[in-house]
Amino acid sequence: YYLIGGSSGHGKTTVGDYMYPLNAWLDAKVKGRKIKIFYLSFEVSKQDKEARWCSYFIYLATGLSIPVDYLLGRIEGNHLTEDELLIVAEAWKHTQEFLQDVSILDTSVGPTMIYETMITYYKKSDMGTLKFRPTEAEKKEGKRGRLVGYTDTTEAFQTTDVFLIIDHLKLVATEDGLDMKQTMDRIS
């Protein structure tokens, strides 16, 4: 559980984008481990994230640093050359491979949606058993209750890394009348 804090514009997202999803993914590939990354980006769009990662793969392959705004054609009158387009196309193949293991959501959601997404993933992944403890009232209503444990029962659990990354925690949608601190506590 890591929390990176600091002033706006000082590189928290950039450090996070390279230090966590990219390095974790590259490490998993080297070690032959499966990896699933849930990336919730509440300030930077999915398109920008993908372009950022493509830029990283360009740098790894060629040593060239191609800015995201240039990649996305946002610099008026300044377009990628034919040679650069070939480099981008090759790096995009690596980016797509990376994105097979990364689910990006770039619209703000609340803690309950985040929680339910993770519950659904673990149920579908067949990596183990989730343990819930319902109250008597929840039992009567047929509800599953609070998650109280997890037992890994398969080799898949032993060979799969799962990450949840939330970029800009302050932008998580509040719910149930909670203030920001209560929302952050609920996410924890």
pLDDT digits (tens, 9 = 90+) for 15-33: 888 888 999 999 999 999 9
Query: 165 or 123: which carries more pLDDT confidence?
Result: 165
Q: Of 157, 160, 184, 188, nearest to 173 (Cα)? A: 184
The contacts of residue 174 (CB under 8 Å, 6+ apart) are 110, 180, 182, 183
Measured between alpha carbons, how far is 8 from 47 in angstroms, rounded to an integer?
21
Backbone φ and ψ of 73, nearest 5° = 70, 30
Query: Are 178 and 52 spatial neighbours (Cβ–Cβ below 8 Å)?
Result: no
The 3-state DSSP composition of the chain as helix, strand, coil percent (nearest 5) reads: 50, 20, 30
pLDDT score, position 156: 64
pLDDT score, position 50: 96
Measured between alpha carbons, how far is 75 from 12 in angstroms, rounded to an integer?
25
- Average pLDDT (46-65) is 95
**For residue 71, pLDDT beyond 90:** yes
pLDDT digits (tens, 9 = 90+) for 100-149: 999 999 999 999 999 999 888 888 887 778 899 999 999 999 999 988 98
Strand bridging mode 160-167 / 34-41: parallel
| Collapsed DSSP state (helix, strand, coil) of residue 114 | helix
pLDDT score, position 99: 97
Arithmetic mean of pLDDT over the chain:
90
Whole-structure pTM value: 0.86
The confidence band for 186, taking pLDDT boundaries of 50, 70 and 90, is confident
pLDDT score, position 28: 94
